[in-house]
């Protein structure tokens, strides 16, 4: 079985390659009404990775399987037939302003490197007690990494769609 850190690294690699494919203009262009720009999708992901700081907070060993929520997380985030809505009040809601591509990609790489470094040196089976994930409650570090993978994969698909829309008008 492929380690979760490797899956996360692969998702980040795909994400950064996808973001690189957009021109700076395209990254900040609204492709259709009520849509995020590609830059906002990237900003949303970057902000979601910021939750990894809970890995360093209070933890305890789970009295359940460390990966118990992974199947449900995959079923939710990789079901492209449902539309998930980020709340505007949520800390992961993207910025409205201009997003500079190089800074976005650099920041994603920096935070993902920190996550991978920490995860490779620490036990992933412990519950993170500083934050309850909506509807899931406390999750293990492993489940959080799995969430980052499937959440990123979902948005890579969204970015691919946006890229195709923006490039179909040429």
Residue-by-residue pLDDT tens, the chain, 170 positions? 469 999 999 999 999 999 999 999 999 999 999 899 999 999 999 999 999 999 999 999 999 999 999 999 999 999 988 887 776 557 788 888 899 999 999 999 999 999 999 999 999 999 999 999 988 999 999 999 999 999 999 999 999 999 999 998 65
CB 102 within 8 A of CB 6: no
Cα–Cα distance for residue pair 95/153, rounded to 1 Å = 21
Comparing C-alpha atoms, which of 131, 124, 170 is closest to residue 149?
Answer: 124
CA dist., res. 102 & res. 97, Å (int): 15
Query: First CA to last CA across the chain, in angstroms?
Result: 43
Tell me if 37 sits within 8 A of 28, measured CB to CB: yes
Burial of 4 (0-12, 13-18, 19+ CB in 10 A): buried
Cα distance between residue 92 and residue 108, in whole Å: 14
Q: Give the per-residue pLDDT at 170.
A: 54
Q: Which two tokens stand for residue 138?
A: 């406390």
């Amino acid at each position: 079985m492929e380690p979760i850190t490797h899956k996360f690294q692969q998702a980040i690699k795909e994400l950064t390659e996808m973001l690189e494919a957009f021109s700076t203009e395209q990254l900040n262009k609204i492709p259709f009404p009520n849509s995020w720009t590609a830059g906002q999708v990237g900003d949303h992901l970057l902000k979601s990775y910021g939750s990894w700081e809970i890995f360093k907070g209070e933890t305890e060993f789970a009295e359940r399987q460390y990966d118990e929520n992974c199947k449900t997380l995959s079923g939710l985030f990789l079901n492209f037939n449902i539309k998930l809505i980020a709340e505007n009040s949520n800390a992961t809601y993207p910025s409205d302003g201009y997003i500079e591509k190089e800074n976005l990609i650099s920041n994603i790489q920096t935070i993902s490197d920190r996550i991978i470094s920490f995860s490779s040196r620490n036990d992933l089976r412990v519950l993170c007690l500083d934050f309850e994930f909506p509807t899931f409650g406390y999750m293990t570090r492993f489940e959080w990494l799995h969430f980052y993978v499937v959440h990123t994969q979902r948005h890579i698909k969204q970015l691919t769609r946006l890229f195709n829309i923006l490039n179909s008008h040429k």
